[in-house]
Amino acid sequence: MMRRRWMAGLALACNLATADAATLTGQVSQIADGDTLTLRAGSRPVKVRLVNIDAPESDQAWGFQSKRSLESLVRLETVRVRTRGRDKYQRVLGEVVRVRDGLDVNLEQVRKGMAWAYTRGTAKGRFEAEEQTARENRVGLWQDSAPVRPGNWRRRQHADGSATGSPEDAAPPPEGKAARSAAWEWASPQFIESHTFFIQAASSESAAGLTKSQPPGAIP
């Protein structure tokens, strides 16, 4: 059994190392905050951190509104997630698209002034343009005279000892060689043992809704 799990994890790592992304499809069951949701893919919950954005913390100004905004967009909706690996908290990093109308949920949060653009690479220009438009129109958090970036907020909280420990500051996902190295780390026996559900989902396409990704730059 352990050997089969290890081989499944190795196969998954190889696929991630050679493919740009994979796609998860499922219904959103829970919203943690303005950039984190839980997806039911097959029979297992998968926590997803939306890439390219950074939403206010729950105890920060506009944190509640940002969470409610994401709820209004995707709660109980079927979505597709184009995955970009995992962060250090083992959340899946992904671009979320609402199935019924193709809405780019990550970008919509920025467009509504409910998150900052937080990206690099090919998506950078698109997200930063939407943030600039929201700033100019004083939409959402841009109504405040001096909104504080979530990363700065977290550092201040840690400095004064009042940090909540919420692990929501996922960096923009790695690209190229760094992404491939991260993928190989997933094949370790320790990771496989503690994350069996994801490996089983990856080895059963029908159970987890996992398919091959679109070409680079495309949104499924």
Reply yes or no on whether 57 is catalytic: yes
Burial, 186: exposed, middle or buried (Cβ in 10 Å; 0-12, 13-18, 19+)?
Answer: buried
Q: Which of 208, 175, 216 is nearest to 8 (CA)?
A: 208
Tell me how crowded residue 114 is: count the other CB atoms within 10 A of its CB: 26
Catalytic residue, chosen from 57, 95, 108, 130, is 57
Q: 191 with 8: CB under 8 angstroms?
A: no
Active site residue 135: no
CA distance 170 to 52: 10
The two tokens of residue 39 are 């997806």
Q: DSSP 3-state assignment of 27?
A: strand
Cα separation, 142 vs 113, in Å, equals 6
**Which residues fall within 8 angstroms of residue 162, CB to CB, at 6 or more apart?**
none
Is 193 annotated in the active site?
no
Active-site residue identified among 80, 84, 86, 91: 91
Residues annotated as catalytic (active site), given as ranges: 49, 57, 91
